[in-house]
Amino acid sequence: MEAASRGARLAGGHLIGVTSQIFSSQPNEYLTEEIPTVSLFERLQKLSEIGNGFAAVRGGIGTLAEVSVIWNLIVIKALSPPPPFIFVGPGWRSVVRSWKKHLAVDERDLPYVEFAPSASKAPKHLARRLIGTGNHREVPKPIVGQTRP
């Protein structure tokens, strides 16, 4: 998250880190604002409330849980208008193919997500989906969901 935060900050972004006290590490120095939460559930709720768009990069089981919750909220229309959701990097295509094969991921769920081949391409995907459709949610702030530096 530090590299993404650094890049966004250098580009003039206002970075909000939604942190959780269950992690022992400190937020990285590039954040301009921190929203501390007590639990992962509270963190996910806050992210879903204030996020204008989401980008998922390679991570661990926590990333997988966050991706699943946010995508599900989009599919059931709990987030309206549906925010852009970008899977960043080559590994996500195989993950989604596996979900389609082994889980109940419907073809109708797929238009809610988009794939960017690299982190350098993700901002263009997000911007196109945000600006091109006029889908702006109430809090128009870029955010970085930080779990660890």
| Domains of the chain, start order | 1-50 (no CATH), 54-136 (3.40.50.450)
The per-residue pLDDT for 143 is: 45
Rounded to two decimals, the pTM is 0.78
CA distances 111 to 34, 43, 61, 83, 85, Å, are 32, 26, 24, 12, 10
For the chain, what's the residue count? 149
Residue 134: pLDDT band with limits 50, 70, 90: low
Amino acid 135: pLDDT? 52
* Average pLDDT, integer, range 16-33: 86
Q: Which two tokens stand for residue 33?
A: 């604002």
* 96: CB partners within 8 A, 6+ apart: 87, 105, 110, 113
More confident residue, 147 or 7: 7
Share of the chain above pLDDT 90, in %: 38
Helices (H), 40-148: 40-50, 61-75, 91-102, 122-133
Q: Which residue has the tokens 């509270």?
A: 42
